Structure 1
Amino acid sequence: MKLIIQIPAYNEEATLPQTIRDLPRFIPGIDEVRVLVVDDGSTDRTAEVARQAGADYVIRLKQHQGLATAFAVGIDEALRLGADIIVNTDADNQYCGEDIVRLVQPILRGEADIVVGDRGVAALSHFSPFKRWLQRLGSRIVSWAAGIPIPDATSGFRAFSREAAMRLTVLSDYTYTLETLIQAGARRMRVMYVPVRTNPPTRPSRLIRSLSSFLMISALSILRFYVMYRPIRAFLSLGGVLIGGGIAIGLRFLYFFAQGRGSGHVQSLILASILIIVGFQICLIGLVADLVRVNRLILEEILYRIRRLDESK
């Protein structure tokens, strides 16, 4: 059983050595533990420091491409290197490395495909009360979108079985955390959460440059991935609301028309017609989007089979 701990890193020469030192090298049930660092086009000595600190594998991207891309590159490389379990952690030493033992246990027992570290965001002292509330609200929204219980949606401390990792397809260029959970829910993967500890922050978050931009990007990401993986539910729900509103307004017009006062409510009839027509159009868009979803699933299955073929070589 081989475990690869992957660490996406961008300009982390100051924090990376401690992060690597804290990683466990011997875990019950694991025969081999290796560390993979993905240097996301850093302008400092991140790659060199990673090797000096004991990383077994270091990949350096030619230019900075973002956390989601670095994560996806690490997953592909870990699969190529023969990992049975892949753990992702942050380079800024946010998570306690010793808790990797907790992350991998449900996978070793065959109880989960993906295990996410739950930081207990409601009790994190370095989060402001407003940020803690936003974290809880965001997790509830992602839980609804994914169809699975999610207490900590933005935690990047995660373990993946080999099969789950081979099924992952990261399309975002911002972050992988929300997309992979919605994707896992759509594919009915077994997702578990285990409590993990966090270390005091070493620097401000680079992913959250401002709260407003983070909220906007997160909201758009959730909407995008929800529509991508559940188009029928999304478009039929919206179309059904518009059609229902149009029918209600139309019935209101018929009520006044039956009383001989229809001439004063022609605008209601026009609005009802518009809502019903637009609602039907949105429902048709949903059908087309579902056909696109089926095509995407076929492409994902092809990618999965290619990974399987690479594995057998």
Structure 2
Amino acid sequence: MTLQSGTPGFKLFVIVPAFNEEHSIAAAITALRTVESGIRDLGGDLAILVVDDGSTDRTADAARDAGVDVLVSHRINRGLGAAVRTGITEAIARGADLVVKFDADLQHDPADITPLILPILDGCSDVVYGHRHSRISYRMPLVRKLGNLFFNRLMSYLTGQKVTDGQPGIIALGADYLGTFHIPGDYNYAQQILLDAYFKGMRFSQVDVSFRPRTSGRSFISLKYPFIALSQILIILAMYAPMRVFGRFGLAFGLAGTALFFVELALYFLGLADKPVGNVNLVLGLVILGSQSLCFGIIAELIRQQRKS
């Protein structure tokens, strides 16, 4: 589905996940209202949808008082990925043609929403990520900068595209992707959406956006972030490209076991070892693990192909 700017009738939902953001959610909603006329000039209608992810403060009440269009609440804190998934699902149910995910902490500028959705409206992209690093207004901590660099390189490798910012707090999703999106993990959404869109043949682009220091609340990112994010990436890879995961693991383990077998056999014939194979259990373990992983990958790939057909 291609939307053209100036074509009347498209519905844009801005999803704002919020967890204990009572001090910033009203300001975020008010700031988002400032782009309403610009969206109307493009032929669209703007709706603000807040997902209260089990907040223990007055986030939900503050959002209602600020005049949010739609408020959805989780009974418990389920995670940012789950909140984004809930928001997208609710927006689709309400007829969304476009969805923008926007942080409640106002580190992003609502004025960037219009340039972010233009590649989708013009039929050039299905998924657009904000690129923060050229317009960031504070010094990002070194650890976070290195983490961003690692995940950018990883996502570039996995998707074959140049990903310069794979973890922004502002992204836009078009109707074609909304009709088929899948976010299996609850922790984060950024890498999941990027991989999900890539395996479904969606077009991806990035737009420069502003990024400001956080003035209230706290980031969900902690030392556990890379480990959980990597596990979520592995799950998506296993879903869409099982041979890419299990085939490579199986080949690596199988080759390691075979190589160890021949090395120990050579040492025995050279008189440097007392037994033909000294580490029998290790060799058998590597070969069996490799064979099982490879077989699992083949079976999973056959199932995936069967479901596609």
TM-score of the aligned structures, taking structure 2 as reference length: 0.85
Change over 3 Å in CA distance of 1:160–1:147 after alignment to 2 = same
Q: 2:165 aligns with which of 138, 152, 157?
A: 152
Provide the residue aligned with 2:64 in structure 1: 51
Tell whether the 8 Å contact from 2:12 to 2:99 is kept in structure 1 after alignment.
Answer: yes
User: Which one has a larger percent helix, Structure 1 or Structure 2?
Assistant: 1
Which whole-Å deviations, capped at 9, do the CAs of 1:224-249 have from their partners, x for residues lacking one?
33333321111111111222223333
Deviation at 1:273, TM superposition (A): 4.5
CA distance in 1, matches of 2:13, 2:287: 54
Unaligned runs of 5+ in 2: 1-9
Which whole-Å deviations, capped at 9, do the CAs of 1:179-216 have from their partners, x for residues lacking one?
111111221211111110023212353412x3x22232
Provide the residue aligned with 1:173 in structure 2: 186
CA distance in 1, matches of 2:270, 2:228: 51
Name which of structure 1's ranges 41-50 and 233-242 shifts more when overlaid on structure 2: 41-50
Runs (4 or more) in structure 1 with deviation over 6 Å come to: none
Q: Does 1:241 align with 2:243?
A: no
Change over 3 Å in CA distance of 1:124–1:216 after alignment to 2 = farther
Matches within 5 A, 1:133-148: 133-148=146-161
Deviation at 1:160, TM superposition (A): 0.6
Provide the residue aligned with 1:304 in structure 2: none
Q: Which residue identity lines up with residue 109 of structure 2 in the other structure? A: C
Tell whether the 8 Å contact from 1:142 to 1:222 is kept in structure 2 after alignment.
Answer: no
Provide the residue aligned with 2:110 in structure 1: 97
Q: Does 1:10 align with 2:34?
A: no
CA distance in 1, matches of 2:72, 2:266: 70
Provide the residue aligned with 1:289 in structure 2: 300
Tell whether the 8 Å contact from 2:50 to 2:72 is kept in structure 1 after alignment.
Answer: yes
CA distance in 1, matches of 2:16, 2:112: 15
Q: Which residue identity lines up with residue 248 of structure 2 in the other structure? A: S
Q: 2:96 aligns with which of 58, 65, 83?
A: 83
Change over 3 Å in CA distance of 1:39–1:272 after alignment to 2 = closer
Tell whether the 8 Å contact from 1:122 to 1:136 is kept in structure 2 after alignment.
Answer: no
Unaligned runs of 5+ in 1: 302-313
Q: Which residue identity lines up with residue 225 of structure 1 in the other structure? A: I
Change over 3 Å in CA distance of 1:232–1:21 after alignment to 2 = same
Matches within 5 A, 1:1-313: 1-23=10-32, 24-26=35-37, 27=39, 28-120=41-133, 125-203=138-216, 205-208=218-221, 210=222, 212-253=223-264, 255-256=266-267, 264-267=275-278, 271-291=282-302, 293=304
Q: SS at the partner of 1:219?
A: helix
CA distance in 2, matches of 1:268, 1:13: 61
Deviation at 1:108, TM superposition (A): 0.6
Deviation at 1:64, TM superposition (A): 3.0
Q: Which residue identity lines up with residue 224 of structure 1 in the other structure? A: I
Q: SS at the partner of 1:245?
A: helix
Change over 3 Å in CA distance of 1:66–1:270 after alignment to 2 = closer
Q: Identity across aligned pairs (percent)?
A: 32
Deviation at 1:89, TM superposition (A): 0.4
CA distance in 2, matches of 1:92, 1:110: 30
Q: Which residue identity lines up with residue 22 of structure 2 in the other structure? A: E
Q: SS at the partner of 2:145?
A: helix
Tell whether the 8 Å contact from 1:15 to 1:93 is kept in structure 2 after alignment.
Answer: yes
Name which of structure 1's ranges 194-203 and 94-103 shifts more when overlaid on structure 2: 194-203
Deviation at 1:10, TM superposition (A): 2.1
Kindly tell me the number of residue pairs found equivalent between the two proteins: 296
TM-score of the aligned structures, taking structure 1 as reference length: 0.84
Q: SS at the partner of 2:87?
A: helix
Q: Which residue identity lines up with residue 70 of structure 1 in the other structure? A: A
CA distance in 2, matches of 1:52, 1:39: 14
